[in-house]
Structure 1
Amino acid sequence: MEEYLYSLLNEALPCPVKWGYFSDGEAPPLVTMIFASGRRDHFIDGSGLMKGSIQIDCWAETYLGALEIRKSVQAALEVHIGGPLKSATLSAIRDASSSDPNLVHRTSLTFFVIYCE
C-alpha cells in the first residue's frame, strides 16, 4: 500500500513526495507522509483489511503554497478507490504557520485509510 499511495500522490502533485521526513538541503515545496497508526481486522478465515491513519504534511515557502498543495492532496485521495486502497477519509486538518519569513510553512492532513496488504 505504501508504494501505491506514493505513486498515486507522486503522479497527482506538482512537487516531490516521500515517506518519512525531509532532510537538510531538501527545499520545499514537497509532501511527506508517515503512518500515525494501524491495525488489522481479523475474520474467521484469518484474513482481514488493515485500518489506519496516515499523516500527510504539505510544505511550502508560503502558507498559500502549502494550502494549494493540501487541496491537491485532498482532490487526489478523497475520490480515489483502487488498488490496495479501499477508502481514504479525511479526518483532520492542521496548520503550522508562522510570520517568520525564514520558516517553512506546513499544513497537515490526517486520513483514515482502509487497505489490503
Structure 2
Amino acid sequence: MKLIHLTDLHLVPAGAMLFGFDPAERMRKTIERINRDHADAELCVVTGDLTDEGDFASYELLREVLQEMRVPIRLLLGNHDSLTSYALSLASRAIGRALSSQSMRPRSGASSSSTPWWRVLGMAR
C-alpha cells in the first residue's frame, strides 16, 4: 500500500509570490511527479495549511491545480485556512467526478478515511 502525504502548501492567489516562490507552480510540479512515478498510490493526504491567508482566490487556484491529480485526495484544513472560503470555492462547485466526491468536502474537526488495510485520522482545531 502506498500513501502520499503533502503538507503546508501555503498557496497564494494566481500570479502572487510567497517569499520569492510560486507555491502553485511547485504544487503543479509535485503533481506531475506523483502522476508520473506514484499513480499507483491508494491515497494522497494533503494537510494544511492549504493556503497562506485562507482567501477565496487561493482556494480557486487549489481547485484548479488539484484537478490534475490522478491519485484519490483527502484534504485537511490548517490554521491558515478558512472553512468559509474553502467551502465557497471547492465544495460548492462541480469540478469533475474525482473532485466532487467526499474527498474535496470541507474537513474541520476530526475526519477519517479508510480502506480494509488502513485508516487515516485528521484532527484540526
| TM-score, scaled relative to structure 2 | 0.29
Q: Which has the higher contact order (CA 8 A, sep 6+)?
A: 1
Task: Determine which structure has the larger strand proportion and give its number.
Answer: 1
Which of structures 1 and 2 has the bigger CA Rg? 1
Task: Determine which structure has the larger helix proportion and give its number.
Answer: 2
